[in-house]
Amino acid sequence: MSSSGRFHQPPSCRRPAALAQSLRASTTTVTCRWRQQYHHPLAAAPLRLRAVPVRATDAARQPFDHLSGAVKSEEGTHPRLKIAIVGFGNYGQFLARTMVQQGHTVLAHSRSDHSAAAATIGASFYADAHDLCECQPDVVLLSTSILSAEAVLRSLPVHRFRRSTLFADVLSVKEFPKNLLLAYLPGDFDVICTHPMFGPESARDGWAGLPFVFDEVRVGDGPARRARADAFLDVFAREGCRMVEMSCAEHDAHAAETQFLTHTVGRMLATLDLKSTPINTKGYETLLRLVDNTCSDSFDLYNGLFMYNNNATELLHRLESAMDSVKRRLFDGLHEVLRRQLFEGSPPLNRDSSFPAESSLDDGR
Ligand code: NAP
């Protein structure tokens, strides 16, 4: 995707001092696409970003350059990261495609054998988590189902990663993984919780303008950590995502409506088995698309939105009572017409229609 087509981008700004120093040989100013400015000390610190862009499939063989920090991509503009994606299903692969295209080295680990898919994308697959750890990724990105996240995290030998690894997640709920990551990871790890609010369906035409929510739960002091966090967030910013920084709790409150409601309505409509007709209205086509968009995700994903968002139960109750209140309004109106016909002798609305049978007036209440 062309980076010239970015939407909603705030003015560019310089990267933190350490990264700027590491790039001082380059004449290109590295831009920050989602922040107005940084407030970091001008101290130089060794960067952990690798010096050489590598082919993804060579990932395990590349030396990791802790000390030089000199990062120069072919474009001369952005650092390359070594990103380990844990949970290489539908979504992990979707993200990997863009990361590889951006020149990052992507390592994948998953319960199932996704080595063929990884090879097609240009990532390296590691069936054994210990082998993954030995590759010393800069970033570990958790992309498992919400329901399996705790078991997956527990199964990782996290102490074998480098001491200051950046751990991030893309789970569609946020308070739950935040608490998990803080509970299971060593205190030295940086933690960024994220939710790209789009998927393979809704981002079929690219990520530009689509919201990316993030919460920097713990990013340690020091320009190197700051630069790495920024380089990771830049994966999304450089595609034109609308970068939205908000707390995990705030995300979950909003997501109950924006996401759980959308998925619930999509799944309800799917049970009606709606078909395209020769007289589709725009609104009806929107409904058909909603069914497609929501039901192409796994039921595990939907179930996770319910199980691990505190606000989901209340939303379901509200949805039920909204349906009741709409029905009540319709049936109250109908009862009123019938009462008038029965007791006041006013003419039926439609003389041709037969009097509604009592059973058809029963709305189940
Ligand atoms: P998903 O059904 O939520 O997750 C599938 C992934 O979870 C696969 O990598 C699968 O591994 C792994 N997994 C499931 N059960 C497991 C278990 N018991 N043990 C170990 N691993 C297990 O579908 P998804 O669409 O790929 O989503 C992945 C994550 O991204 C979820 O947390 C979801 O909330 C988030 N997300 C998805 C979207 C989207 O549009 N799809 C958008 C934003 C965020 P294997 O494939 O190896 O079996």
pLDDT tens digits, residue range 78-131? 899 999 999 999 999 999 999 999 999 999 999 999 999 999 999 999 999 999
If asked whether residues 157 and 84 sit together in one domain, one would say yes
DSSP assignment letter at 306? H
What is the predicted pLDDT for the residue at 20?
Answer: 36
Residue 37 is part of which domain span? 20-47+60-246
What is the predicted pLDDT for the residue at 201?
Answer: 87
If asked whether residues 178 and 315 sit together in one domain, one would say no
Q: Is residue 96 in some structural domain?
A: yes
Neighbours of 215 (CB within 10 A): 21
Query: Residues with beta carbon inside 6 Å of ligand 1?
Result: 87-92, 110-112, 143-146, 148, 151-152, 170-172, 196, 199, 297-298, 300-301, 304
Distance 79 CA to ligand 1 centre (A): 28
Which of 143, 150, 306 to mutate for ligand 1's pocket (most ligand atoms within 8 Å of CB)?
143
If asked whether residues 231 and 106 sit together in one domain, one would say yes
If asked whether residues 99 and 195 sit together in one domain, one would say yes
If asked whether residues 257 and 140 sit together in one domain, one would say no
What's the CA angle centered on 182, arms 181 and 185, to 5 degrees? 65
Distance 245 CA to ligand 1 centre (A): 23
Q: Is residue 94 in some structural domain?
A: yes
Residues in the chain where the model's pLDDT stays below 50: 1-31, 36-71, 354-355, 357-365
Is residue 240 a contact partner of residue 3, using CB atoms and an 8 Å limit? yes
Which of 144, 173, 181 to mutate for ligand 1's pocket (most ligand atoms within 8 Å of CB)?
144
Q: Atom 48, ligand 1: which residue's CA is nearest?
A: 112
Distance 112 CA to ligand 1 centre (A): 11
If asked whether residues 214 and 303 sit together in one domain, one would say no
Contacts of 72 (CB under 8 A, 6+ apart): 23, 25, 26, 51
Distance 300 CA to ligand 1 centre (A): 8
Neighbours of 25 (CB within 10 A): 9
3-state secondary structure of 36: coil
What is the predicted pLDDT for the residue at 348?
Answer: 57
Answer yes or no: pTM beyond 0.75. yes
If asked whether residues 174 and 77 sit together in one domain, one would say yes
Q: Is residue 211 in some structural domain?
A: yes
If asked whether residues 131 and 91 sit together in one domain, one would say yes
If asked whether residues 289 and 229 sit together in one domain, one would say no
If asked whether residues 258 and 215 sit together in one domain, one would say no
What is the predicted pLDDT for the residue at 347?
Answer: 62
